[in-house]
Amino acid sequence: MRVLIVGAGIIGLSIAEELTRRGVEVELFEKSAEPGSEASSAAAGILSPQGEAKSPGPFLDLLLKGYQMIPEAVARLQTLTGIDLKYRASGMMGLAFSSSDEEELKAELSWQQEAGLWVERLEASQVRKLEPAVDGAVRWGILWPQTSHLDNTALVGAYVKAVAVQGGTLHLGAPVFRFLMEKDRLLGLETDSGKVYGDWVVNAAGCWAGFDPELPFSIPAVPVRGQMLRFRTERPRIQRILRSPRAYLVQRSGDQLIAGTTVEHAGYEKRVTPEGRESIRRGVAEMIPDLSRLEEEASWAGLRPDSPDHLPILGETPLKGLLLATGLFRNGILLAPLTGKLLADWMTAGEAPPDLAPFQVERFLVSYRR
């Protein structure tokens, strides 16, 4: 079996790693000169299933299952590649600084407690005891113990090395122009080097997944810009991830503090703006005022792939032989190992995994023109 994958971000790489580990022939095609150079490298590496779901249901189930796979995937990749992923099960605090913040936290706390999830309410004194750097203006907070973080750029590097070690082929600076179709079957890809054929094709091109206008259906993946800042600190300032409705903070290492993010529908314009930078700085200063005096060590922006209902687009399409893996928004890293497993299971066993049923592109297809 030969599988062709469009896009060498975290998702495309995770699918390739799972397949090559099973002995499948895999080729990845990445338009950029570097793998994972879009959304995958622009993230903060937060792994928080309860911080992303809005209610019980299939999406929460998917996130929780994905989270359970992370420790084993990290251990396997580190052993195979020798790359330290800086994985840390830190937990995360959600903080309230206003009455509207309190209402938001109350709603999250309520449905998660009713669902039997691991979440704790913290009074302001408990917040300050656990994280002394947090300012006294905090009203109260909640703690999600089941939250971790890792170095997402290191994860990209580990996946790239693992795919290569296991026999996969990665083509960089190799844009795919269109899909090769015959009736209702996908046969392969047309690249700048010519046509290439495979038994399966996986479109993991993120917010560029709809690049081929000749497809007989639409892939409604859209870009959402997120801006990020990095500060250098003389010592670690926080132990857990901190989050308010306006910003979050992650202590990546002893002297690196990552701050984010914005959520902007700005098309494909990937840049840091004065307004975005100021918005993040205000959110950071609200949590830890003295951090506002730190100079930025770096800033960057990324385009995360979203969908109209803000849920992933995963699985089969009206074209036989074409699978989709996009629309994961802020959860690509969290869901990477699980996505790789489920799509590899699909291709090798020939059966659709039940976990993916709610996330297929058919939910957006009013009609399909043949």
Summarize pLDDT for 172-188 with one digit per residue, the tens: 999 999 999 999 999 99
CATH architecture of the region 2-81+152-220+308-364: 3-Layer(bba) Sandwich (3.50)
Please check the confidence at residue 366 and state whether its pLDDT lies above 70. no
* Mean pLDDT rounded to a whole number for the chain: 95
Cβ(224)–Cβ(235) below 8 Å: no
Hunting for tokens 């990020």 — which residue is that?
Answer: 228
CATH 3.30.9.10 in the chain is located at 92-145+222-306
What integer pLDDT is reported at residue 368 of this predicted model? 43
Q: Which residue from 222, 230, 286, 284 is spatially nearest to 253, judged by alpha carbons?
A: 230
Please check the confidence at residue 369 and state whether its pLDDT lies above 60. no
CATH of 92-145+222-306, one of 3.80.30.20, 3.30.9.10, 3.40.50.1000, 3.30.70.360: 3.30.9.10
- Pairing verdict, β 200-203 and 2-6: parallel
d(CA 219, CA 222) in angstroms, rounded, equals 9
pLDDT in tens, 326-351: 999 999 999 999 999 999 999 999 88
What integer pLDDT is reported at residue 367 of this predicted model? 44
Please check the confidence at residue 290 and state whether its pLDDT lies above 90. no
Write down the pTM of the prediction.
0.96
For residue 317, whether the previous peptide bond is cis, meaning omega lies within 30 degrees of 0, is no
- Pairing verdict, β 148-149 and 46-47: antiparallel
β partners of residue 325 = 314
